[in-house]
Structure 1
Amino acid sequence: MSAHRRRRIALWGGIAAVALVTAGGIGVQRWLAPPPATSAALLAAMSNAIANGQVAPGRDPICVANGIAYDQEPVNVQTGNVATLSWMNMLVEAGLYESPSSGQSGGFLSQPISIYQPLPELARWGGGKRLCVARGVRLDSVSNVGRVEEMRLRGKRYTGVLADVRWTLDGPAPWLAMPGVGEALAGELPGWRSARWHAGPHGWALTQRKSFVLVDDRWTAGDAVERATSTRGSSDQI
């Protein structure tokens, strides 16, 4: 074989090798690239976790408990207790109690009191020393998606992303939308899963910063992965 022919074969072989490496690099790059972390994709991941029972959105009612027995007994408030009077007057505006009547506490040191009689609507939402504002919560949206990066869940590495998950009230009380009522109640409700409820122009909402990770090339709610890992760990110990 001539030297010229050997040079041509080597040249074409080099070109083919470069093309193969380039194609292989593109293929690897495409294989490694995660699917887009869009709000819609993460919302679907969260919805899927709820549907499969991996994440419970909150089936318990959302209630406030501040020491008042919200049952069918009247509530007596001393006239000097400004904070409690303001709270009860708000519940009057909500249609849960009648306007107060005046009375005396009785006993040797009798004090003037305001007496609040419950209305029928209270029976639907009160009892057991708590006043409830909704039957539960539901998933609303996912927004404010962060940057895709490496993160750890229970000591294991994942490709992950953070995003804001927004919840709203499911089956809210009708009187919650009355002016001044929602704002007053929002300040008294306990936090739900490390977040606080707030009343806004589009209703009540609660926003949590949550993680999503790639599992089998699909975005999965971090809560679901942590729960699955915890369940497997418990099974290993049995």
Structure 2
Amino acid sequence: MAQFCKQCGTAHTPDARFCDECGKAVNAASSPSPAPAPAAPAKPAGAGVQRRHVMIAGGVLAVVIVAGGALAWLLAPEAASAGSFSRAIDAHLAADEAARDKLLCLSNLPYQKEEIRVASYDSSTRQWLDILVRGGLYNAPVEQSSGGWIAQSQFVYALAAPGKAALRGDKLCVAKGVKVASVSGYEQVRDMGGQQVAMATAKLALTDEAAWLAKSPDRALILQRLPHGDLEVQLPLALVDKQWQVTDRAQMHEAAMAMAGAMRNASGAQGAGMLDKLKSLFRFGAHPLVGKWKTSAGEVLEFTRDSMIDEHGKASKATFTAEGNVVTILSEERGGMPMQVSLSNSNNTATLMLGGLRIAVLQRVRD
């Protein structure tokens, strides 16, 4: 059966490959149609949902771990450190006005009076008031005669306006507050009766210093007259409700007694020795002046629990009040005039003060 060229219509045999008329290829084998691409395997319908669930579960687990760590940190007791002790002491001094005044105020003279009269022979008091005159707190003294059978000269110091502004009640104050500059003692924490305690030594710095003090040419001398002239205090601290807090010595004494009692029951006489050691460490027993002291002039003074013995061997009854490293002495022989002794950190040297003035430097005598 004849076949025809699709281009020119010329007939050709069935086995012809090209048209004799136009040369177009005829009977060309049709190219095989490409094989269909294999279908992608069908994804399970829940795969995406499962992946999201895994991601959500992982996120929840991470949050739980972080929250658990944060909770453990919040519930853990505060560590003994310079930061925690500084925070505790700063909080104590900020809240306790009486404690601040003991550090920042002078009460050795009746500063609330409009005038202070000083005998001409009382050179120590006059020197101190002359310092305050240079600081602008008092007017220059006026010399007067006391009259009477035996006329005595005295100097009258009148309180000036800046002096009135510097008063808090009947005390002369040098600043509004203090803060901890450095602290030690956090490395010596002890367990007493199940409570952690420590004795901190803090060096303080003034805050809101009085303008008259900042301008005074005798600033260093004025600061030396403060009860803690070196602005260094010793305070007992205890871990209460997982935070370090300043505590009172009575509470620490009770803890020491409980600890010593337990040790005494456990080891007999050894407990009594431990109590003596604790009393010495925290000054719970007798005041820290007990013993003999020598002045720079070679004179020897002795203090007992309730008396003092002067360089001539004369004993007089006295009461001792310890506050930090300062001991106030009231002797029956001195008409009620208090003396103060400021001890060094080692308790081996001390400064004896009378009326805010330094009288002598003492050195402990070891037997």
TM-score tier by shorter-chain length is: 0.5 to 0.7
SS in 1 for 2:159: coil
Match of 1:39 among 70, 73, 82: 82
Higher relative contact order (CA 8 A, sep 6+): 1
Asked if the contact 2:182–2:204 (Cα under 8 Å) also holds between the matched residues in 1, the reply is: no
Amino acid at match of 1:106: G
SS in 2 for 1:86: helix
Partner of 1:202: none
Amino acid at match of 2:234: Q
SS in 2 for 1:121: helix
SS in 1 for 2:136: coil
SS in 2 for 1:207: strand
Amino acid at match of 2:147: G
Asked if the contact 1:77–1:85 (Cα under 8 Å) also holds between the matched residues in 2, the reply is: yes
Q: Structure 2 CA distance, aligned partners of 1:101 and 1:50? A: 40
Partner of 1:8: none
Tell me how large the CA RMSD over aligned residues is: 3.8
Q: Structure 1 CA distance, aligned partners of 2:146 and 2:107? A: 24
Q: Structure 2 CA distance, aligned partners of 1:50 and 1:111? A: 45
Is the alpha carbon distance of 1:100 and 1:37 closer, same or farther for their aligned partners in structure 2, counting shifts above 3 Å? Answer: same
| Normalised TM-score (structure 2) | 0.38
Partner of 1:208: 234
Partner of 2:113: 71
Partner of 2:180: 140
Q: Alignment length, in residue pairs?
A: 175
Shift of 1:130: 3.6
Amino acid at match of 2:194: R
Structure 1 unpaired stretches of 5+: 1-32, 191-195, 199-204, 231-238
Deviation sequence 1:75-129 (CA, Å, 0-9, x none): 3322222112111111111111122233222233222222323221111124865
| Normalised TM-score (structure 1) | 0.55
SS in 2 for 1:43: helix
Partner of 1:6: none
Partner of 2:200: 163
Partner of 2:56: none
Is the alpha carbon distance of 1:148 and 1:158 closer, same or farther for their aligned partners in structure 2, counting shifts above 3 Å? Answer: farther
Partner of 1:173: 210
Asked if the contact 2:197–2:236 (Cα under 8 Å) also holds between the matched residues in 1, the reply is: no
Give the structure with the larger helix fraction: 1
Larger-Rg structure: 2
Structure 2 unpaired stretches of 5+: 1-75, 255-367
Q: How does 1:1-238 map to 2 (within 5 A)?
A: 36-46=79-89, 58=99, 60=101, 62-73=104-115, 75-126=116-167, 129-135=170-176, 137-147=177-187, 149-152=189-192, 156-177=193-214, 178-184=216-222, 186-187=224-225, 189-190=226-227, 196-198=228-230, 205-213=231-239, 218-223=242-247
Identity of aligned residues (%): 24
Amino acid at match of 1:41: S
Q: Structure 1 CA distance, aligned partners of 2:111 and 2:234? A: 31
